[in-house]
Amino acid sequence: MTGIIIAGALIAGVGLFIGIFLGIAGKKFEIEVDEKEEKILSLLPGNNCGGCGYPGCAGLAAAIAKGLEPCNKCPVGGNPVGQAIGDVMGVFVADQKRMVAFVKCHGNCEKAGNNYTYYGKLDCNFAYKVPGQGAKACDYGCLGYGNCTKVCEFDAIHVIDGIAVVDKGNCVACGKCVNACPFHLIELVPYDAQHIVRCSSKDFGKKVNEACTEGCIGCKICEKNCPTGAITVTDNLAYIDQNKCTQCGLCAEKCPKHAIL
């Protein structure tokens, strides 16, 4: 009986020691949590998409709480989340234009030709490395193998008739598709942009005409007719500055190739 009592007392003593030790260690090595950081994290969508440049929402929340990033840095949350975070941080957050991804290619199966039949791996990065950078006659056109669709977590981009097409309603402008395209055909544009050049070819007009029926031939008709100077043609390709564009529509009306959306 005496042995049992001693053993019990010993176990109780060890348990008490460990408990006290863990309590002291917990206090000593306790990591202080920023209340603002926790509140900001609770406001973020939690998609952990990486569109903000951080691996997850926790990283962005910490950066915003420390003042290293703006309150409206999250592309998924948009203005509502940005303004809610602004309230937590005690700062005014101005509205930002909603952005969406846009594929600068309209060379679908009907409009763009092919140089040969491709039987390789259905992956844009893989096909990009074969002779001619893919089977498509245009050296700058969408290959249509869907690397952009594979990285989109919001079901906002699909391959339709051989080219990637963005669903503006679902797009949150996270930018993953932009980075996934080996041809850099995707860019973020204002949601309400009505006129965009849907071509990326820098070839001369004759070669463009041979490859695609609606490719930009760099004729500069759009540039000459734009009343605000929003359009410039560089390297045989027209580009519209959305900050200068007044959506008058003259460029789309005058374009002989219908290359402007």
Place of tokens 């939690």: 46
Whether 9 has a pLDDT exceeding 90, the answer reads: no
d(CA 83, CA 93): 6
Per-residue model confidence (pLDDT) at position 253? 94
Range of weakest confidence among 23-27, 224-228, 234-238: 23-27
CA 146 to mean position of chain CA atoms: 15
Strands 163-166 and 186-190: unpaired
How far apart (Å, rounded) are the C-alpha atoms in residues 138 and 135?
9
Domain 97-192 has CATH 3.30.70.20: yes
**C-alpha to C-alpha distance for 146 and 143, rounded to whole angstroms:** 8
What is the rounded CA–CA span in Å between residue 218 and residue 223?
9
Per-residue pLDDT, 17:
63
pLDDT in tens, 22-71: 666 556 555 556 788 898 888 988 888 888 888 888 888 898 899 899 99
Assign domain 193-261 to a CATH class. Answer: alpha beta
pLDDT in tens, 59-113: 888 988 998 999 998 888 888 888 999 898 988 988 888 899 999 999 999 999 9
* Strand 231-234 versus strand 237-240 pairing type: antiparallel
Fold identical between 35-89 and 97-192? no
Average pLDDT of every residue of the chain? 88
| CA nearest to 143, candidates 170, 180, 100 | 180
Cβ-based burial of 61 (10 A; exposed 0-12, middle 13-18, buried ≥19): buried
Q: Find out whether 112 and 209 touch, Cβ atoms under 8 Å.
A: no
Q: Where are the domains of the chain?
A: 35-89, 97-192, 193-261
Residues 6+ apart with CB under 8 A from 59: none
Q: In terms of CATH architecture, what is 35-89? A: Orthogonal Bundle (1.10)
pLDDT in tens, 128-174: 888 888 889 999 999 999 999 999 989 999 999 999 999 999 999 98
In degrees to the nearest 10, what's the CA dihedral of 11, 13, 16, 22?
-80
Q: Decide if pLDDT at 18 tops 80.
A: no
Q: Give the tens place of pLDDT for each residue, 161-210.
A: 999 999 999 999 989 999 999 999 999 999 999 999 999 999 999 999 99
Q: How far, in whole angstroms, is CA 194 from its chain's centroid? A: 20
